[in-house]
Amino acid sequence: MAGLLGMFGGSRSLRPEVKAAIQSRHGLNDKAFAELKVVESSSKFAGRPVTYFRIFKPAEAVARGLQVKNFADLNEAPALVIYEGHEEMDTRLVSLKGPDRPTAQP
């Protein structure tokens, strides 16, 4: 179960390790990354500290009338989540779920 730490910070840019994981899997360019934001929630996974993340396009959320300020806000609109996963904080290992096909780039 996700903890409260990190749930109220608002959306922000992607951490370098998460960005690198997406880059290696999908080859996104900088313009595509500029359109993405992340919300996070800190917790534990298998007893280790992790940060769960959900990546989305704020413009799509606004178009649907949704303000995404924290991780739980995307529970209402799971279709807005493009990538999600967790980052192990002690090793910086990133587990990523997302589309199996390359994401369209602007």
Residue 104 lies in a domain: no
The C-alpha angle 84, 100, 22, rounded to 5 degrees, equals: 50
HSE on the CB side for 1, CA within 13 Å? 1
Average pLDDT over residues 19-39: 91
In a domain, 9, yes or no: no
In a domain, 26, yes or no: yes
Which residue range is the domain that position 49 belongs to?
16-97
Task: State the chain's mean pLDDT as an integer.
Answer: 84
| Domains identified in the chain, total number | 1
**Across residues 54-65, what is the average pLDDT?**
95
Residue 4 domain flag:
no
The pLDDT value given to residue 12: 87
32-46: per-residue pLDDT in tens?
A: 999 999 999 999 888
* pTM to 2 decimal places: 0.80
Nearest to 67 by CA among 48, 44, 39: 39
Counting Cα atoms < 13 Å in the Cβ hemisphere of 57 gives 15
Location of structure tokens 């998460």: 18
pLDDT band at 101 (very low <50, low <70, confident <90, very high): very low
- In this prediction, residues 89-97 reach a mean pLDDT of 85
Ramachandran region, residue 30 (left: φ > 0; alpha: ψ -120 to 50; beta: rest) = alpha
* 59 pLDDT more than 90: yes
Taking the C-alpha atoms of residue 60 and residue 16, their distance in angstroms, rounded to an integer, is: 23
